[in-house]
Copies of this chain bind each other. A is one copy, B any other.
Amino acid sequence: MSCLARHSQTLRARGYRMTPQRLAILEALHHDGHLSPAQVYQRVRQTGVTEATVYRTLEFLRANGIVFATYGCDGHLTYELGGYDHHHLVCRICGTQVQVKQEMLQDALNRIEQQTGYRMTDGHLTLVGLCPSCQGNSQAQA
Contact = CB atoms under 8 A, between A and B. Distances in A.
Interface of A: 13-15, 59, 62-65, 69, 71, 75, 77, 82, 89, 91-93, 98, 100, 104-105, 107-108, 111-113, 115-120, 122-132, 135, 138-142
A71 to B, nearest CB: 5
A70 B30 CA distance: 28
A125 B122 contact: no
Contact of A116 (B62, B65, B98, B123): B98
A112 B104 contact: yes
A13 B141 CA distance: 10
Contacts of A100: 112, 116
Nearest to A133: B117
B112 A127 contact: yes
Contacts of A105: 108, 112
B98 A104 contact: no
Residue in A69, A92, A124 whose Cβ sees the most chain B Cβ within 10 Å: A92
